[in-house]
Amino acid sequence: MIKWTIINIYLLLIFLIIKNNNNNNNYNNILKYNKDIDLYSIQSPYIKNINIIKRGYHTSLNNKLIIVQKDNKNNNKNNLEIDNFYKWLVGFTDGDGSFYIKLNDKKYLRFFYGFRIHIDDKACLEKIRNILNIPSNFEELLKTIILVNSQKKWLYSNIVTIFDKYPCLTIKYYSYYKWKIAIINNLNGISYNNKDLLNIKNTINNYEVIPNLKIPYDKINDYWILGFIEAEGSFDLSPKRNICGFNVSQHKRSINTLKAIKSYVLNNWKPIDNTPLLIKNKLLKDWDSSIKLTKPDKNGVIKLEFNRIDFLYYVILPKLYSLKWYSRKEIDFQLWKTLIEIYIKGLHNTLKGSNLLKLINNNINKKRYYSNYNIPKNIIDDVLNINLIYNYKLPYRINSDIQRLNSINNNNTKFINVGVFVYDLNNTLIITFTGYRPAALYFNCSKHEIAKYIKNGNVFINKYILKNILLD
């Protein structure tokens, strides 16, 4: 009681002092209430209806309202972070989320938004619940965890606001639209007979395309893609075939979504600045074919595949690494990042590297749910610190071919162990070969002649300089 009396007296004094200061007109220009600002009310027998917003910011006072307003510059970072989360959430919902309706006693509708995912991803749902302040509890089952909300007013004020600003980009766009219209009608008191109620429930997720309503693929963005990857992406590894990549899968109904992802990545994601020139030129030359869209399988599933090591290492990996992840799939990503580095350095050709590939393969994707992620950092560091086998300035495919030819011809490595780089007289790289033999075949001469011109540095056929190293 004494504490609140002191607070009330303090507030009264502040109020009287500023009220009597008629020369300060700035305080008379009261700001409109902003829903993004946290507003607190303090009840006082001396000063009624005084509202106080968080302390520690710029203040103004007008009779009954004390406004504490954040500096926009300090807010930009937080606003950007929450916007990025909303974009991520929509992408994640497109993959693993649901909008649906239930009938209670076949008399009225109940609206739901939520997720059902593996129990090991509980932390992801906790992040979603905490950031959105979802007034719901988890339902934990043996292998899955469920988070849903059915409060209509909360759903309309929060979820609809997000998904109207950052729309779904799969055919779930139509499900959301029908769900939103139904919830608005319900809040407006529109009544239906039992048949209509059942029809509304059954049509929410029937994959029916709404005429004249187009999915806004132009709204695609980095964080939507990340959220979609965390829901539908899979990081691939085939140690026996030395294939490493990742894919995003969908039913063929959403083929345009995968096409939109491919188009966005190819138009907006570029090789990082320190990409070696020869690799960068190779990437740009084959740019349009860097991402592959597969044909539907027997179940109608199609995949968007990313399998080219150089494209993964210099384009995809840096972009994904720069974004904030929210699910346990980040563990997969970190393991996959290690895989890419092993391949790009050629360390899969070592015993330690090969063993680490097998170990990671047993701890990635769905396998991570059934095994403990327990690959000590020192084991990974021990492999990654091995001296490079591949030339970092050469495209992965050239390095791989050189290594393969070297293995095949291990009894005659004199002409196989190096690449051949053909320059014009201005030291401009013209063409690259994986060894002496391919160069000899191209120029219709012997491998010994190729070796001779590399050794003596003379001009080859009056217009070329042959090297066994890549010039800076």
Query: Per this entry, what is the length of the chain?
Result: 472
What residue ranges in 76-158 does DSSP mark as E strands?
97-104, 108-118, 139-140, 144-149
* Block mean pLDDT (10 aa), the chain, length 472: 50 46 35 34 36 36 39 61 96 95 82 92 93 91 90 94 96 95 91 83 87 94 97 84 86 95 97 93 93 94 94 96 94 91 91 89 69 75 90 86 65 51 88 83 89 91 87 64
For the CA atoms of the chain, what is the radius of gyration?
A: 31
Six token digits for residue 472: 């800076």
Any idea where the domains of the chain sit in the sequence?
2-70, 76-219, 244-384, 409-467
Handedness of CA 350, 351, 354, 359 (dihedral sign): negative
CATH fold of 76-219 reads Endonuclease I-creI (3.10.28)
Q: Give the per-residue pLDDT at 1.
A: 52
Q: Give the per-residue pLDDT at 436.
A: 85
Q: Within 233-350, where are the H helices?
A: 255-268, 277-285, 309-311, 317-321, 329-345
Specify the CATH number of the domain 244-384.
3.10.28.10
Q: Give the per-residue pLDDT at 439.
A: 87
The reply to whether 244-384 shares the fold of 76-219 is yes
Q: Which residues of 207-231 are buried (b: 16+ CB within 10 A; e: fewer)?
A: eeeeeeeebebeebbbbbbbbbbbb
What residue ranges in 15-133 does DSSP mark as E strands?
39-42, 50-53, 58-62, 65-69, 97-104, 108-118
CA 58 to chain centre: 37
Q: Give the per-residue pLDDT at 151.
A: 93
CA atoms within 13 A on the CB side of 226: 24
Q: Give the per-residue pLDDT at 52.
A: 36
Say if residues 261 and 220 touch (Cβ distance below 8 Å): yes
Q: Give the per-residue pLDDT at 54.
A: 36
Q: Are strands 50-53 and 65-69 parallel, antiparallel or unpaired?
A: parallel
Say if residues 106 and 202 touch (Cβ distance below 8 Å): no
